[in-house]
Structure 1
Amino acid sequence: MALQKKIPLRKCVATGEMHPKKEMIRVVRSKEGEVSVDLTGKKSGRGAYVSKSEAAVAAAKKKKVLDNQLEVKVPEEIYEELLRVILREQLK
């Protein structure tokens, strides 16, 4: 009997739902306080995961969940980049 590889789950900060890590987008804050979208999931710093849905990004923005999670003001460009990433994936 083959063992199934454990799929790492992450919780979406906007919706509170658990999803496989690959289905999430990581937003990370570096030690310098810079916020960026981490598509590799490997950047160092404090990370927060958002579901790959426009609704989740909108909710995160509205409730300022990422600001709270990352303890820093998240710039507007980050939300725009998240939406771009989601739209790009939907087109594939």
Structure 2
Amino acid sequence: MKIKNKQILRKSIVDGKLYPLNELIRFAKLADGSIKFDPNCKLSGRGAYCYKNISQLDILFKKRLLNKSFRHNISIEEYNEIRKDVDEWIKNKIKENQTMKE
């Protein structure tokens, strides 16, 4: 008996619910200990996922949930850099969606 396309699920670190992988964004902890925003899910290393929702992203940065997820104290400068990368990615996605609608 063949199994049809199995949908990959991951848990969001903000609300703890399971979501399909295409509805999540990824943050990766690299081998050198740095944390990076990984929009394409291509970076190697330990990953943490968050649902693609602005309110959940605000909670993630407000409560500094990446510290808990990676068991590592992340400096405020790193959080600001990650937040800036996420904001740029969101702006680009909004522009892409607007051009597709036109």
Unaligned 5+ residue runs, structure 2?
A: 98-102
The alignment-based identity, stated in percent, is 27
Structure with the bigger RCO (C-alpha within 8 Å, sep 6+) is 1
Q: Which runs of 4+ in 1 moved over 4 A?
A: none
Larger helix percent:
2
Cα contact 1:52–1:86 (8 A) shared by 2: no
**How many residues align structurally?**
91
Give the TM-score normalised by structure 1: 0.83
Unaligned 5+ residue runs, structure 1?
A: none
- If you compute each CA radius of gyration, which structure gives the higher value, 1 or 2? 2
Greater Cα shift, 20-29 or 38-47: 38-47
Residue of structure 1 equivalent to 2:22? 22
State the superposition RMSD in angstroms: 1.8
Cα contact 1:26–1:48 (8 A) shared by 2: yes
Give the TM-score normalised by structure 2: 0.76
